[in-house]
A and B are shown apart, each in its own frame.
Chain A
Amino acid sequence: MHLILFVVFAGFCLAGAINLLLQSHPINSALSLIVVMTSLAVLYLLLGAEFLAIAQVIVYAGAIMVLFTFVVMLLNAGREERTLGSRSARNVGFPAAVAILAIIATIILKAQGLGTAQLSDGLTDVKGGTNIEVLSTVLFTRLLLPFEVTSVLILIAILGAVALARHGAGEPSASEPKVDNQ
């Protein structure tokens, strides 16, 4: 059962990724990316990492990709033009990409201490509570410092965005008449 689902969704994932590259319209590419992300979420689920799976859906498919499609719609981006591409890129590029992927895969497989992944409910039945409880315990005890540092990093990004937006709004722009909101 797990294996069937794995094969199906791995297939979806790959098909989405290939479609993402082949489509000429940006919105189709964005939608393929959503397919990739949701299939990845299902793969996480099959490994028993349910929290990771749903976080993937909420954060990536639900929030980030909405902004992507939003931007595509607002800019009304058209079809991208196709060039035939140089022959050397095709002759060298594809083997090179395959080689790099193979090397990465071997390194990951050979690396020590990673263990093997099993398609099961594995992580759901960890000792000491559910997946989420164990995850949050680790996050708020052993990994507290990195966790907080990451959140500060994101906060800085938010502040940066606000600063940039305010800077733009401060100058009177010619294209947009000034509107009093309050």
Chain B
Amino acid sequence: MHVTIFEFFLWSLLKVAVVTVVMLLGVAYTVLLERKLVGRIQNRWGPSRVGPFGLLQPLVDGAKSFLKEDIIPTGVYRPLYLLAPILALGCALMSIAVVPFGEPNVGPGGVHLFEIADLNIGLLIILGVTSVGVYGIALAGWSSNNKYSLLGSLRSSAQLISYELALGLSLVGVVLQTGSLNLRVIVEKQAEKGIVTWNICGMQFVAFFIYLMAAYAETNRSPFDLPEAESELTGGYHTEYSSMKFAMFFMAEYANMITVGCVATLLFFGGWTSPLGDLIDPPQNIFVHALFPIFWFVLKVFCFLFLYVWVRGTLPRFRYDQLMNFGWRILMPLAILNILATSLWVAYH
């Protein structure tokens, strides 16, 4: 890269600002997508009053959370009670920093315009940030001084720790095949012949399903949404939170969903590359050339979000012992077997 440190700094700042805004907008509209889709699955309309097709609903919801009274119960442990939502949302938004969503080197002076930071440990950064994100939930439950919150957060922490293992192991197969932890390299390796060389169509088919299920558990989404099981815990770890603090947990959950979708897209579905591969010539116009990959990336991530909502609208919740059994007795051994098979394949190929 031929940019000075000052230019680099400015570019980074700009990218961070843009990505954060886009991410928050994405979070807002994922909420709308979920409400709409679940509505259709349950044969009703979902939000439809505010704006055309309810499109302004997220903005109104945001304004509502801002304007609501912010109640801090008397029994809470204040410093941690205030820290927890910040930690949850911060970690959820941070991991997007290493996600590449477009062609490299398109900016002036060879700047990576479509990625905040190109690191050769990108994948591990995402895992690390996710594992730190557990604290947001754990501390929220503990500092609320409420037994439902504590139960919810203990459940959630146990679930996250258990499924993180399967999640990490399921990604090892992809890393073995690619030989790199750099997300860009992983995508470029899959890009050769379009959909045929995507990891999902090869050896890593099993890994994808392990990843998908572990990721549902990681993001506390149904059918693994025990930490916030309304019927038994009233609300889980965020029972005592109101107003914007509750909204921060809510946003963290959806931001995590988007990140999971991004990672799945990058690792298994060829990232920003087109499914047709080299069959069609790359468009000549420079703007189209730069924006076309983003279209594919967003489309793929959207499919994941759709799947998330679909699953939520379809499947009932697991019981706690089923959850633990499934994680430790099925997903974990399966992931290890997948690593073994992939290693053998890589060794003898």
Q: Which of A38, A50, A61, A69 lies in contact with B121, CB distance below 8 A? A: A50
Q: How many residues of B contact A (CB 8 A)?
A: 27
How would residues 44 to 81 of chain A score, 1 for a CB under 8 Å from any chain B CB and 0 otherwise?
00000011001101100111001101100110000000
Interface size on A, residues (CB 8 A): 26
Residues on A with beta carbons closer than 8 Å to the beta carbon of B164: 62
Evaluate whether A57 and B142 lie within 8 angstroms (CB atoms) in the complex, with A34-B135, A66-B161, A181-B321 already known: no
- Contact A132 B321, beta carbon cutoff 8 Å: no
Q: Does the CB pair A131–B134 fall under 8 Å?
A: no
Q: Is A40 an interface residue (CB 8 A)?
A: no
Q: Is the pair B120, A57 in contact by a Cβ cutoff of 8 Å?
A: no
Given A70-B157, A73-B150, verify A58-B128 contact (CB < 8 Å).
yes
In the complex, A27 has a CB within 8 A of chain B: yes
A2 to B125, CA, bound (A): 20
Chain B residue contacts of A28, Cβ below 8 A: 79
Q: Is the CB of B150 within 8 A of A50?
A: no
Cα A66 to Cα B141 with chains together (Å): 14
Q: Is A132 a contact partner of B181 (Cβ separation < 8 A)?
A: yes
Q: Does A130 contact B (CB under 8 A)?
A: yes
**A1 in the interface, Cβ–Cβ < 8 Å?**
yes
Contact B138 A62 (CB under 8 A): no
* A66-B120 contact, Cβ under 8 Å, with A54-B125, A57-B128: no
List, in ascending order, chain B residues with CB within 8 A of A51's CB: 121, 124
Known: A27-B80, A70-B157, A132-B181. A50 touches B131 (CB 8 A): no
Contact with A along B62-73 (1 / 0, CB 8 A): 000000000000
Decide yes or no whether B127 CB sits under 8 A from chain A: yes
Contact with A along B144-161 (1 / 0, CB 8 A): 000000100110010001
For the complex formed, measure the closest distance between the CB of B332 and the CB atoms of chain A, giving whole angstroms.
Answer: 13
Neighbour of B132 across the interface among A50, A57, A124, A130, CB < 8 A: A57
The residue in chain B whose Cβ has the minimal distance to the Cβ of A73 is B142
B5 at the interface (CB under 8 A from A): yes
Whether the pair B120, A73 counts as a contact (CB closer than 8 A) is no
Task: A58 to B79: give the CA distance in the assembly, Å.
Answer: 25
Contact between chains at A58 and B127 (CB < 8 Å):
yes
Contact B138 A73 (CB under 8 A): yes
Neighbouring B residues of A1 by C-beta, 8 Å? 5
**A27 with B142: CB separation less than 8 A:** yes
Closest to B175 in A: A132
Given the complex, which residues of A lie within 8 Å of B142, measured CB to CB?
A: 27, 69, 73
Contact A132:B131 (CB < 8 A) given known A66-B161, A70-B154: no
Interface: B119 (CB within 8 A): yes
Q: In this complex, which of B127, B131, B139, B180 has the most chain A Cβ atoms within 10 angstroms of its Cβ? A: B131
Contact with A along B99-115 (1 / 0, CB 8 A): 00000000000000000
CA distance A157 to B120 in the complex (A): 33
B154: min CB distance to chain A, Å: 7
A66 engages B128 (CB within 8 Å):
no
Q: Are B121 and A132 in contact (CB under 8 A)?
A: yes
Assess the A132–B5 pair: CB atoms within 8 A. no
Residues facing B in A14-30 (CB within 8 A) are 27-28
A51 to B124 Cα, complex, angstroms: 9
CB-based contact B154/A54 at 8 Å: no
Q: Could you tell me if B157 and A66 are in contact, using CB atoms closer than 8 angstroms?
A: yes
Q: Which residue of A lies closest to B80 (CB)?
A: A27
Closest CB in chain B relative to A129 CB, distance in Å: 10
Closest-CB distance, B28 to chain A (whole angstroms): 29
Complex CA–CA separation, A67 to B162 (angstroms): 12
Instruction: Determine the residue in chain A with the shortest Cβ distance to B131.
Output: A62
Chain A residues within an 8 Å CB radius of B124: 51, 54-55, 58
Whether B131 and A63, one on each chain, are in contact in the complex, defined by CB atoms closer than 8 angstroms, is yes
Interchain CB contact under 8 A, A66 and B134 = yes
In the assembled complex, the CB of A55 is this many whole angstroms from the nearest CB of chain B, namely: 8
Q: Are the CB atoms of B128 and A62 closer together than 8 Å? A: yes
Q: Which residues of A contact B138 (CB under 8 A)?
A: 66, 69-70, 73
Cβ A69 vs Cβ B135 within 8 A: yes
**List of A residues within 8 angstroms of B154 by Cβ:** 70, 73-74
Contacts known (A63-B161, A132-B120); A54 close to B128, Cβ less than 8 A: yes
Closest beta carbon of chain B to A127's beta carbon, Å: 15
Q: How far is the CA of A57 from the CA of B91 in the complex (A)?
A: 13
- What are 20 residue pairs bridging A and B, where the CB atoms are less than 8 Å apart in the complex? A31-B80, A31-B135, A50-B120, A50-B121, A54-B121, A54-B124, A54-B125, A57-B131, A58-B124, A61-B128, A62-B132, A62-B164, A63-B131, A66-B134, A66-B135, A66-B157, A70-B157, A74-B154, A124-B120, A130-B180
B residues touching A (Cβ–Cβ < 8 Å)?
A: 5, 79-80, 119-121, 124-125, 127-128, 131-132, 134-135, 138-139, 141-142, 150, 153-154, 157, 161, 164, 180-181, 321
Q: Which 6 A-B pairs have the closest CB atoms?
A: A62-B131, A57-B128, A54-B124, A73-B142, A58-B128, A181-B321
